[in-house]
C-alpha cells in the first residue's frame, strides 16, 4: 500500500527539486548570517521556514486522498477567515451573524467535494450576499450594518470562495494525457505563487529603485515586480510537465500567477496598513499568520483556475 497514492512520476522530480532548494537556501541564509552579522536576513529566513511548512502541508494534504485535502482546505479557510474577522472592529451583537458565516465553510467545501460547480459559484457570491443582511435584519441589528455586511461577505469571498478554487481541481473531469493530475496542478500553482514572492523580494532588494505604492507597501518596486514576473515565467516553463498545457499556455499561465499574486500581496498589505498591524495572526509562531503566508495565493488561485477551466473545458 502506497503512503502517498496520489504521488505521480511527474510530481516526484519537482518535489525533489523543492527539497534541495529549501536545504540550499536554509543553509545559505544561516551561513550569511554568520558571515555578515550586521546585516538582517530575518525576512529571508522567515520565508524559507514558511516554505518548509508549506511543503510538508502540501505533501500531507494533496498526496494522500481527496477527502483529506478537502478537510484540510476547509480548516485553512476557517483559520484564514477567523484571522481576518478577529482583526476587524465588529460589535458583540453583530458577531452573532459571524456564526452563520462559519457554517458556510463546510457547506462550500461539501459542494466542492460533490463537484457541484454551479452551486459552488453561487452559494457565497449570491446566497451569502443576501443571507447575511437578511439574518441581521431579522435579528434587529442596525449598528454599523454596512461595515458588518461588507466585512463578513468580503471575508468569505476572499478566504473561503477564493481559496476554495484550489480544491476544485479534484472535482473536475480528468484530462487525458495529464499524468501529474490535480496534485500536479496544485503544486504548480502554489510553487509558482511562492517563488514569485521570493523572486520579487530578491529583485526588489537588489535592483529596486522605483516604488509602486509607497503608502501601502514601501518595499514593492517596479524592478521587483518585473524581476518576479520574468523569473516566475521562466521557472514555470521548466515545470510545464505538471500542466496539461502547451509551452505558450504555460508561459501565459505563469505570468498570470505572478501578476495576480503581486496584487494579492498588495491587497493584504493595504488591509494591514488600514488596521495598523504588522501580522494578521500567529499561525506560524514568530512568522505571522496564515493570511500573511497565503495572501498572494488568494488572488492567483482564482485567476489561474478560470484560465485553466477556459483552456481545458471550453
For residue range 161-180, what is the model confidence (pLDDT) as tens digits? 999 999 999 999 888 767 68
Span of 11-15, 104-108, 289-293 with lowest mean pLDDT: 289-293
Arithmetic mean of pLDDT over the chain: 87
Mean pLDDT within 273-295: 77
What residues contact residue 188 under an 8 Å CB cut-off, 6+ apart? Answer: 180, 236, 239, 242, 243
Q: Long-range CB contacts (< 8 A, 24+ apart) of 90-96?
A: 90/144, 90/147, 90/148, 90/151, 91/143, 91/144, 91/148, 93/141, 93/143, 94/136, 94/141, 94/143, 94/144, 94/148, 96/139, 96/141
- pLDDT number for residue 74: 96
Q: Does 37 score more than 90 pLDDT?
A: no
- pLDDT number for residue 251: 96
Q: Spell out the domain ranges in the chain.
A: 11-313
- pLDDT number for residue 310: 95
Residues 141, 147, 153, CA angle at the centre, nearest 5°?
Answer: 95
pLDDT tens by residue, 104-157: 999 999 999 999 999 999 999 999 999 988 888 887 766 777 778 888 899 999
Q: Exposed/middle/buried for 311, CB within 10 Å: 0-12, 13-18, 19+?
A: middle
Q: Does 282 score more than 80 pLDDT?
A: no
Q: Exposed/middle/buried for 112, CB within 10 Å: 0-12, 13-18, 19+?
A: buried
**Confidence label for 93 from pLDDT (cuts 50, 70 and 90):** low
Q: Integer distance in angstroms from the first to the last C-alpha of the chain? A: 37
CA distance 114 to 120: 10
What residues contact residue 293 under an 8 Å CB cut-off, 6+ apart? Answer: 50, 53, 54, 283, 284, 287
Choose from 97-101, 171-175, 224-228 the range with maximum mean pLDDT: 224-228
- pLDDT number for residue 247: 94
Give 221's strand partners.
211
Q: Does 228 score more than 90 pLDDT?
A: yes
Amino acid at each position: 500500500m502506497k503512503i502517498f497514492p496520489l504521488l505521480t512520476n511527474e510530481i516526484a522530480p519537482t518535489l525533489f527539486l523543492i527539497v534541495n532548494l529549501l536545504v540550499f537556501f536554509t543553509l545559505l541564509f544561516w551561513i550569511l548570517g554568520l558571515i555578515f552579522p550586521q546585516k538582517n536576513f530575518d525576512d529571508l529566513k522567515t520565508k524559507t521556514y514558511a516554505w518548509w511548512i508549506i511543503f510538508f502541508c502540501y505533501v500531507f494534504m494533496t498526496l494522500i486522498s481527496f477527502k483529506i485535502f478537502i478537510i484540510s482546505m476547509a480548516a485553512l479557510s476557517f483559520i484564514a477567515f477567523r484571522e481576518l474577522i478577529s482583526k476587524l472592529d465588529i460589535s458583540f451583537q453583530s458577531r452573532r451573524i459571524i456564526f452563520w458565516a462559519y457554517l458556510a465553510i463546510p457547506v462550500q467545501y461539501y459542494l466542492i467535494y460533490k463537484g457541484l460547480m454551479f452551486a459552488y459559484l453561487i452559494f457565497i457570491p449570491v446566497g451569502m450576499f443576501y443571507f447575511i443582511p437578511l439574518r441581521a435584519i431579522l435579528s434587529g441589528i442596525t449598528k454599523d450594518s454596512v461595515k458588518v455586511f461588507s466585512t463578513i461577505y468580503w471575508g468569505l469571498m476572499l478566504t473561503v470562495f477564493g481559496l476554495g478554487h484550489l480544491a476544485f481541481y479534484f472535482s473536475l473531469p480528468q484530462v487525458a494525457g495529464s499524468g501529474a493530475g490535480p496534485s500536479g496542478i496544485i503544486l504548480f500553482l502554489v510553487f509558482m505563487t511562492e517563488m514569485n514572492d521570493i523572486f520579487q523580494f530578491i529583485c526588489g532588494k537588489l535592483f529596486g529603485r522605483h516604488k509602486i505604492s509607497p503608502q501601502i507597501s514601501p518595499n514593492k518596486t517596479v524592478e521587483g515586480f518585473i524581476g518576479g514576473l520574468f523569473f516566475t515565467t521562466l521557472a514555470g516553463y521548466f515545470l510545464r510537465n505538471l500542466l496539461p498545457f502547451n509551452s505558450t499556455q504555460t508561459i501565459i499561465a505563469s505570468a498570470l500567477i505572478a501578476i495576480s499574486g503581486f496584487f494579492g500581496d498588495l491587497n493584504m498589505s493595504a488591509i494591514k496598513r488600514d488596521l495598523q498591524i504588522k501580522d494578521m495572526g500567529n499561525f506560524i509562531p514568530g512568522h505571522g499568520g496564515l493570511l500573511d503566508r497565503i495572501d498572494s495565493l488568494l488572488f492567483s488561485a482564482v485567476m489561474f483556475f478560470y484560465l485553466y477551466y477556459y483552456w481545458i473545458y471550453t
